[in-house]
Chain A
Amino acid sequence: MLKAKLSVSEKIGMAVIGIVLATMVFLCIFPFYHMLVVAISNGTAVIQGKVTIWPIGFSLESFKQLFRDPYVGYAYKNTLLYVFLGTIINLFLTTMCAYPLSRHNLIGKKYFMGIIVFTMLFSGGMIPTYIMVAITLNLKNTFWAVLLLNGMSTFNMIVMRTFFITTIPESLVEAAKIDGANDIKIFTRVVLPLAKPILATMFLFYAVAQWNRFFDYMLFLNDKKTYPLQLLIRAMVIEGNLGETAQKQSAANDLFVSETGIKYAVILITVLPIIMLYPFIQKYLVKGQMVGSLKG
C-alpha cells in the first residue's frame, strides 16, 4: 500500500475525513441492520418496541409471509425482464442523444438543447400522456408502453453529455477526422472506449430507476401476472394506504408477525438485489484512481 509522507495538517485533514466517513457509514448501514433485526425478530418483541440492536427470538415468518403470494414469483421475473429491456433502450437512446450534442460545433446544437431542456420544465400532464400512449399509440396493457414512455431521462442525458465534453477533448476528434474517420467511426472507435465510466454510471442509474418504477406500470398494465415487483409490494410498504375503512375491517389476527416486521422484510427483499449491482459496476468508477494512487 501506498505510504506517501503526509504533513501534520494533512494528517489532521485525513483524520477528519476518516471520522466524517465513518459516521456516514454508520448512519447508512444502521437502518438496514435495524430492519433486518426487526424482520427476523419475534413479532411480540417488535410490537413492544424492544428490538433495536439485537434480534429477540428468531423467525423467518416475515419473509415466508411474503413468498406465500404466488404472484411474487411472476413479479420477480417480470421486473428482471423489464429492467433488462428498459435499460438497453435507455442506454441506446441516451448515448445517441448525448454524444452528438456534446460536439461543440454541431449545427443547431443550441436549438436541440433548448427543445430538450424545455421538456424538463414543462409537461403536458398525465391525461394527455395517457391518451398518447394508451389510445393514440394503442399500447394499453403492454409493458412496452412503460418502456417507451420512459425511453430516456433528460437529466441522465445531460450528465452523459457533460462527461463527453469534459473527458473527450475536441482535439482527439479533430485528429481522428484528419485520419479520415467519419463521425460513426470516431464514436465507436474513439469515444465509446473512453466512455466506460459514464456508461457504467448510466447503466446503474437506469437500472435502478427501472427497478424502482411502479406508477406507470400501475397505470398501463391490467393483468396481474404482468405486474412488476414494486407494484405488488408498494401497498404493503405504505402504511395507512389502506385507509380508515380497510383498517377497520382488517379485523384482528395480524399479530405474531408484526406489521413492521413484514414491511421491513419486504423492503429488504426488494432492495437487496439492486444494491448488489453496484459492486459490479464499481470497478469502472475507481479504475482511473486505482492506477494513479498505486503509482502515487
Chain B
Amino acid sequence: MVQSSSIDRKPHQNSVWKHIKRDKYLLLMLILPMAYYALFKYGPMYGLLMGFENYKIKKGIIGSDFVGFKHFAKFLSDDLFWRAFKNTIVLNVLNLIVCFPAPILLALMINEIQYIQMKKFVQSVSYMPYFISTVVVCSIAISFFSNRGIINNLISGLGFERINFFLEARWFRPIYIFTDLWQHVGWDSIIYLAALAGCDMEVYEAAHIDGAGRFQQIWYITLPYLIPTISIMLILAMGKLMDVSFEKILLLQTPSTYEVSDVIATMVYRRGIQNVEFSYSTAIGTFQSLVSTIFIISANAISSKLSETSLF
C-alpha cells in the first residue's frame, strides 16, 4: 500500500487525496481532539481583540470601540514595563539553567540505584513537594529564611551575621529558584523516568558485555536515548520564558527587592488592584505571547538542525 514514505515536496491534488485516504484512520482519530481545540481554544480566541479596543462590558468584545495599538504603546513606553520585562527573562533564564537539567540528572541518578525498593522509595519521596501548593511553599520558605528562621540560626551559630534574605535584592533570585527546584525536580523527572522505562534493555546488556563502565553506559547509551525528550522539553520550556507565577513572586517579594523581583505579571497585578483593566492586561498578555512565539520558533528551528527533533 505504502510505496514510499518519502515526503513529496509538492504533492498533486491527486496525491493529497491519496494520502488522506491512506491516513483515514489516523485522521479519524484526530477528529475529537481537534474538535476540542476548535471549541475550547479557538472558540474564545476572539478575546484577543480586547487588547486592541477600549473594552466596555455593555458593548461586548465584538462591539467595543477599536483603539488599535494604544494599550501597546502605553506599556511599551513605560520604563517600569521594561524593568519588569528584563526581570522576567533573567529570572526565567536562570531558572531554566538550574531547574531544567536537574530532573534529568535526578532521573539518571535514580536510574543508577540498584536496590529496587530503595529506588521506588526515593522516587516517591522526591515528587512529594510538588503537592504542596505555592502559597504553602512560600510560607515555609519565609519561616526558614526569616531573621529568626532555621537558616539564620545556623548562620549565627557559625559566628556570622544574620542575613535579611527578603530585604536584600541579591537573595531574591536564589530563593526563588531554590524553592522552584525543590518543588518541581522530582515531579519533572517522572517524564524522563517514563522515557527510560521504554528503553530497550538489550542494548545495556550488550554494552555491559562489551565492558562499558557504568558512567560510560550513561554517557553513550542512556543520555542519547533521552535526547529527543530533552529537546522537546527544552523547546517547550523556551515557550514559557515569559511566564512567571505571579502568586509566588507576590508572596516572596518586598519593595526592597522590586528592582529584581518586579516582573510583568506582578506589574499587571498591581495596576489591577485599583482598576479593572481588561484591555490593558490583554494587550500585555498578547505581547508576552508574541515574544514566546519567537522563542519557541527559534528553539524549534535550532533543535531540528542539531538533533533532528522538532515540535512542528
Contact = CB atoms under 8 A, between A and B. Distances in A.
A274 interface: yes
Interface string B190-203: 11011111110100
Given A132-B40, A292-B205, A107 B135 contact: no
A48 interface: no
Contacts of A140: none
A124 B46 contact: yes
Interface string A253-296: 00000000001000100010011001100101111111111011
B154 to A, nearest CB: 13
Interface in B244-288: 278, 282, 285-286
A15 to B, nearest CB: 12
5 nearest A-B pairs in the assembled complex, by CB-CB distance = A124-B47, A124-B44, A97-B33, A113-B312, A128-B44
B135 A129 contact: no
A232 to B, nearest CB: 14
B120 A279 contact: yes
B213 A10 contact: yes
B140 interface: yes
Given A123-B41, A132-B44, A117 B311 contact: yes
Contacts, number: 266
Nearest to A274: B131
Instruction: Give the size category of B's interface with A.
Output: 35 or more
Instruction: Give the size category of A's interface with B.
Output: 35 or more
A148 B169 CA distance: 43
Interface of B: 1-2, 5, 7, 16, 19-20, 22-23, 25-27, 29-30, 32-34, 36-37, 39-48, 50, 61, 106, 109-116, 119-133, 135-136, 139-140, 182, 185-186, 190-191, 193-199, 201, 204-205, 208, 213-215, 225, 228-229, 232, 236, 239, 278, 282, 285-286, 289, 292-293, 296, 311-312
A97 B38 CA distance: 13
A20 B109 contact: yes
Given A127-B61, A183-B25, A13 B214 contact: yes
B138 to A, nearest CB: 10
Contacts of B289: 121-122
A166 B195 CA distance: 8
Given A10-B213, A17-B112, A100-B27, A238 B135 contact: yes
Contact of A25 (B43, B122, B185): B122
Interface string A125-137: 1011101110011
Contacts of B311: 113, 117, 158
Given A237-B135, A296-B204, A278 B195 contact: no
Contact of A163 (B37, B110, B195): B195
Nearest to B17: A107
A165 interface: yes
SS of B interface (majority) = helix
Given A151-B40, A177-B1, A282 B47 contact: no
B312 A166 contact: no
Nearest to A27: B182
A279 B124 contact: yes
Contacts of A37: none
Contacts of B124: 275, 278-279, 282
B201 A127 contact: no
Nearest to A114: B312
A125 B130 CA distance: 26
A113 B311 CA distance: 7
Contact of A290 (B25, B116, B131, B312): B116
7 contacts: A9-B215, A17-B109, A21-B109, A107-B22, A128-B44, A177-B2, A286-B193
